[in-house]
Amino acid sequence: MQTQTETIKLRDGTRIPWIGFGTGTALSRKDCTETTKLALTRGFSHFDTAQSYKNEEYLGAALEGVPRSQLYITTKLMKFDWAGGQTVEDTLRVSLKKLKTDFVDLFLIHVPIDHIDKPGQLKDVWKQMCDVKKKGLTRSIGVSNFNVRYLKEILADGLEVPVVNQIEFHPFIYNGSKALLDFHAEHGIVTESYGGLSPIIPKRQGDEAEIPAREKLMKVLDKFAASRSTAAQEVSQNQMLLKWLQYTGTIAVTTSSKESRIDEYLATGSLPDFTPEELSEFNAAIEGVHFRCFKVFDYMDE
């Protein structure tokens, strides 16, 4: 069990553990108490949830009693009754109650297209995000599933810049995300990844067109993993995908129901970094590939 997780500094001066445990996807709308407790006892301190996952109260129950200073908690804003007068603060206060905390470390707009029914709505929602931060209900604010167009829209009024953009991010989507990644770099927005293990998850794999790319990448991951394996510790393809995220300065949000994988994820931080030669080999293996697994966010490719 690893207790010390490396952190990444965000543009508002706060720090975030580079790897986080998510309660979405496989755990969404489920009682995640036991799985989250397992992640906590194995060494995770960074937890990622969302209002739409409908399990904030289970995460709150799992984390109860742990000193708040030892935790990093993210939740995300879902679609709310903006036209009817409901506010971002109203929704966040409900989340805080469920999470049994006075503040979250990071609050994200989950999906921009949930807030574009009326002109100016998205900008107003971002202004309200800035206001809840000023009130101390969250330490940092950021976004998720924002493409360059939506980022430009919320930045237009000179308000605070989001500290992170949480997006589907893995080697198969890297080449097609260059414009967004350049925009992040220009504005000091850290890329936060979900779906980072997608290239090796069978049910997320694409059609036959993706098979050669997948095979090429798997060979490279195997080679890099073997070169880091010892008699005492076998390194996996999963770990090499997470290592690539860490190497590229990306925050990795992942999840698992299995203790062995949770331990493996946490052990990734201490594995040797990619060498420049390995990076070239890795980049050659993914050249020309662009494959999105979370099709619901296809607008990200506009």
Ligand X SMILES: NC(=O)c1ccc[n+]([C@@H]2O[C@H](COP(=O)([O-])OP(=O)(O)OC[C@H]3O[C@@H](n4cnc5c(N)ncnc54)[C@H](OP(=O)(O)O)[C@@H]3O)[C@@H](O)[C@H]2O)c1
Is 26 near ligand X (CB under 6 A)? yes
Per-residue contact flags (x/-) with ligand X for residues 109 to 138, judged by CB under 6 A: -x----------------------------
Sheet strands (E) in 101-206: 104-109, 138-144, 164-168, 190-194
Is 214 near ligand X (CB under 6 A)? no
Return the active site residues. 53
CA–centroid distance for 245 within its chain: 11
Bridging pattern class, strands 138-144 and 104-109: parallel
Among 1, 66, 94, 201, binds ligand X (CB under 6 A): 201
Among 116, 155, 159, 200, binds ligand X (CB under 6 A): 200
Reference 82, options 125, 39, 40, 113; nearest CA is 125
Is 235 near ligand X (CB under 6 A)? no
Is 23 near ligand X (CB under 6 A)? yes
Min CB(279)–ligand X separation in Å:
21
The smaller minimum CB distance to ligand X, of residues 135 and 258, is found at 258
Is 101 near ligand X (CB under 6 A)? no
Is 253 near ligand X (CB under 6 A)? yes
SS3 call for 66: coil
Give me the amino acid identity at 286. Answer: I
Min CB(194)–ligand X separation in Å:
3
The smaller minimum CB distance to ligand X, of residues 171 and 196, is found at 196
Is 38 near ligand X (CB under 6 A)? no
Is 48 near ligand X (CB under 6 A)? yes
Min CB(158)–ligand X separation in Å:
26
The smaller minimum CB distance to ligand X, of residues 29 and 93, is found at 29
* Nearest residue to ligand X on Cβ basis: 22
| Residue 164 φ then ψ, to 5° | -140, 160
φ/ψ bin of 77: left (φ > 0), alpha (ψ from -120 to 50), beta (otherwise): beta
CB 144 within 8 A of CB 108: yes
Separation CA 219–CA 286 (nearest Å): 12
Segment lying near ligand X (by CB under 6 A), choices 98-106, 112-120, 182-190, 250-258: 250-258
Segment lying near ligand X (by CB under 6 A), choices 127-135, 150-158, 194-202, 281-289: 194-202
Residue 18 has, within 13 A of its CA and on its CB side, a CA count of: 20
Q: Is 110 annotated as a binding residue?
A: yes
Q: Which two tokens stand for residue 204?
A: 């997320």
Min CB(275)–ligand X separation in Å:
24
Sign of torsion, CA 103 106 110 114?
A: positive
The smaller minimum CB distance to ligand X, of residues 59 and 88, is found at 59
Q: How many CB atoms lie within 10 A of CB 43?
A: 18
First to last CA, the chain: 42
Reference 151, options 142, 78, 176, 296; nearest CA is 142
Is 144 near ligand X (CB under 6 A)? yes
Min CB(204)–ligand X separation in Å:
8
Cβ neighbors of 78 (< 8 A, separation 6 or more) are 50, 51, 52, 91, 110, 114
Binding positions for substrate are: 110
Contacts with ligand X by CB under 6 A lie at 22-26, 48, 110, 144-145, 166, 194-198, 200-201, 238, 253-258, 261
Binding residues: 110
